[in-house]
């Protein structure tokens, strides 16, 4: 969920007051409402558009279907996971020429694959034709019982900054076949004190900045500790011929869909040693500090302030 | 919610089994899941596309915003209303040229208007740019406590067929400024035995056919009793110069967004006399019968089988 560019939610919020059952309104990875006595409903919606989020020439229909649900699972994960049930609705606007089984069958197959993998129940949807681009909107609902959402706003000065997996693989196609970190988020929230969390959709620096702004803190990150996707070194030599370029991809490329989170150092050192997280891998990449802004310690040990660059939708 | 054209949900359902907490899966106006002990979550999603569901030349941005939420409220209403809370998520895919305040301000204003009117809390959304058409997907969820969903499949032979309001106004612009019948649905479900219900989005005959197919019944409807929007008689004389043409609009035009429902005759006769429904108006237009198909008694008393024509998305 990302609406900062449009600013519309803020405008509307002034006009529409929330009742107390809205535990988390717009502005985090998912909204959270209280249902009944001890259930919480986590909801998130994401739209992917042909020509923006994927290209029909380079993405398989199966990957498009997979991605449409996976990005929303990633948003739910970033709230801390722990759901007893997850439901999905899908809305398609498609040009008529795509309504042939060569396209729809693998598209649905990709949807079925991700739903099975994460036990997501697809309970409805809507179909429209369009003269424009293929557009898919997914809305996911996670139901939790007495679980506490992990927000962007909880980072504390002194927290370690951690990230799952490896970064920078998006341009190599990872954005079409990534594994949302729902299992990892559930484990982290259950076993450790996690103060803030977000998924990396806009880019490491940009999403870190979302945490920092919401938490009114700053950060120091260490270039040496950024976990870089090793395939980047084997990538296109034209783009990826320099260490600095590779680091830049890891810092600013959108759609890595890894978890970026902060935790007290005593938890952080246990997290990076957790056997159940070994396969995914978790790295400590820096520290939350009182001084605002993002400071990067480069490979030569020089510290400088960096701009929270990343993918902006407009 | 309408996915019959694509058939994708059926295909997927074979591959994805529902757990017992899914009280109503895809195929009705909304899906219903059980949350906690005695709460039900009703969810529906709808997409409107520029050039299909509205035209930027003839619809005001305010009307587009209003419609985007109103159509989903209408779907929730068709399940029987009675919600303690209603929440909404909105996803926009918009061409960059529309990102100017002359367009977005009235668009949001229309959204705020319908949300206030129906006490809908907008708790999130997503924005994408697109090279194609303006596309808005709304997802609404209503929370109910121990209320029973009214399905399309509950019609019984002998039931009266009823409809709220007047039909055929869609071409006169009603599809952009209609009032979803949430209040009426809540009242009906509370006070009377309502066996089946749907909202008229595809057209009276087409939506009646959805009830009949789900309920494995047929219907006899009486042309004389179809409540026709009086403005149709004052409409474009080229289109609306004949009684038969006017009736055809009332029977087949999509997006009237009135409630079409069935009830035992003892309830039906009380419903049409209910003072609280007087302003909206409710008419008995026919009867559910065992014989399959839709039979229309025309103004001259001649009965013939009619096709369930209406708006088809493809």
A86-95, A193-202, A240-249, B8-17 — which is least confidently predicted? B8-17
Q: How confident is the model at residue A99 (pLDDT cuts 50, 70, 90)?
A: confident
Query: What pLDDT was estimated at residue A13?
Result: 62
Q: What share of chain B is helix, strand, coil (3-state, %, to 5)?
A: 35, 30, 35
Which pLDDT does position B127 carry in this prediction?
Answer: 83
B20 reaches A (C-beta below 8 A) = no
Q: Which residues of A touch B128 (CB under 8 A)?
A: 47-49, 52-53, 135, 313
The pLDDT tens digits of the residues spanning A245-295 come to: 788 889 998 889 999 999 999 999 999 999 999 999 999 999 999 999 999
Hey, are the CB atoms on B108 and A36 less than 8 Å from each other?
no
Q: Give how far the C-alpha of residue A111 lies from the chain's centroid of Cα atoms, to the nearest Å.
A: 18
Q: Label residue B241 by pLDDT band (50, 70, 90).
A: low
List B residues 32-61 in contact with A (Cβ-Cβ < 8 A).
33, 35-39, 41, 43-53
CB contact under 8 A, B125 and A85: no
What is the DSSP code string of A237-305? TTTS-SHHHHHHHHHH-S----EEEEE-HHHHHHHTT-GGGTTT-EEEEEEEESS-EEEEE-TTS-EEE
CA distances from A180 to A74, A104, A176, B125 (A): 5, 23, 11, 20
B8 and A52 within 8 Å at the Cβ level: the answer is no
Q: Do A26 and B122 touch (CB under 8 A)?
A: yes
Q: State mean pLDDT over A302-310.
A: 88
3-state SS class at A49: strand
User: In the predicted model, is pLDDT for residue A240 greater than 60?
Assistant: no
Q: Quote the tokens at residue A190.
A: 């259950």
Question: Could you say which residues from 208 to 247 on chain A have a Cβ atom under 8 Å away from some Cβ of chain B?
Answer: none
Per the structure block, which two tokens stand in for B283? 């008419």
Q: Judge whether residue A30 has pLDDT over 50.
A: yes
Residue A161 contacts residue A283 (beta carbons within 8 Å): no
Q: Which range, A33-37, A99-103, A143-147, B214-218, is most confident?
A: B214-218
Q: Which residues of B touch A135 (CB under 8 A)?
A: 47, 93, 128, 130, 132, 135
Percent of chain B with pLDDT over 70: 90
Digit-coded pLDDT (tens) for B85-135: 999 999 989 998 888 878 888 999 999 999 999 999 999 888 888 888 999
Indicate the residue of A43, A46, A313 with minimum beta-carbon distance to B129.
Answer: A313
Contact partners, residue B24, CB within 8 Å, separation at least 6: B30, B31, B32, B79, B149, B151
Query: Which residue, A128, A133, A146, is CA-closest to A190?
Result: A146
């Amino acid at each position: 969920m990302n609406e900062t560019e449009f600013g519309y939610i803020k405008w509307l919020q002034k006009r529409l007051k929330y009742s107390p059952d809205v535990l988390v309104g717009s502005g985090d990875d998912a909204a959270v409402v209280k249902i009944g006595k001890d259930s919480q409903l986590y909801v998130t919606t994401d739209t992917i558009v042909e020509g923006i989020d994927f290209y029909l020439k380079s993405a398989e229909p199966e990957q498009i279907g997979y991605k449409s649900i996976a990005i929303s699972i990633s948003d739910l994960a970033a709230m801390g996971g722990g759901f007893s049930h997850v439901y999905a609705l899908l809305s398609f606007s498609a040009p008529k020429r795509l309504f042939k089984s060569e396209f729809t069958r693998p598209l649905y197959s990709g949807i079925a694959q991700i739903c099975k993998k994460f036990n997501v129940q697809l309970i409805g949807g809507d179909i429209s034709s369009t003269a424009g681009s293929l557009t898919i909107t997914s809305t996911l609902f996670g139901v939790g019982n007495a679980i506490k959402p992990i927000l962007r706003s909880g980072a504390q000065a002194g927290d370690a900054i951690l990230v799952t997996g490896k970064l920078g693989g998006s341009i190599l196609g990872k954005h079409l076949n990534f594994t949302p970190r729902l299992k990892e988020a559930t484990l982290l929230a259950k076993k450790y004190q996690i103060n803030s969390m977000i998924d990396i959709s806009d880019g490491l620096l940009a999403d870190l900045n979302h945490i920092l702004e919401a938490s009114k803190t700053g950060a120091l990150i260490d270039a040496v500790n950024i976990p870089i996707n090793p395939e980047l070194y084997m990538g296109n030599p034209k783009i990826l011929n320099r260490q600095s370029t590779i680091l830049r991809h890891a810092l600013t490329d959108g759609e890595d869909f890894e978890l970026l989170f902060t935790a007290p150092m005593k938890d952080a050192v246990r997290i990076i040693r957790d056997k159940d997280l070994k396969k995914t891998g978790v790295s400590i990449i820096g520290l939350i500090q009182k001084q605002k802004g993002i400071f990067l310690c480069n490979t030569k040990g020089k510290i400088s302030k960096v701009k929270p660059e990343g993918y902006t939708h407009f």
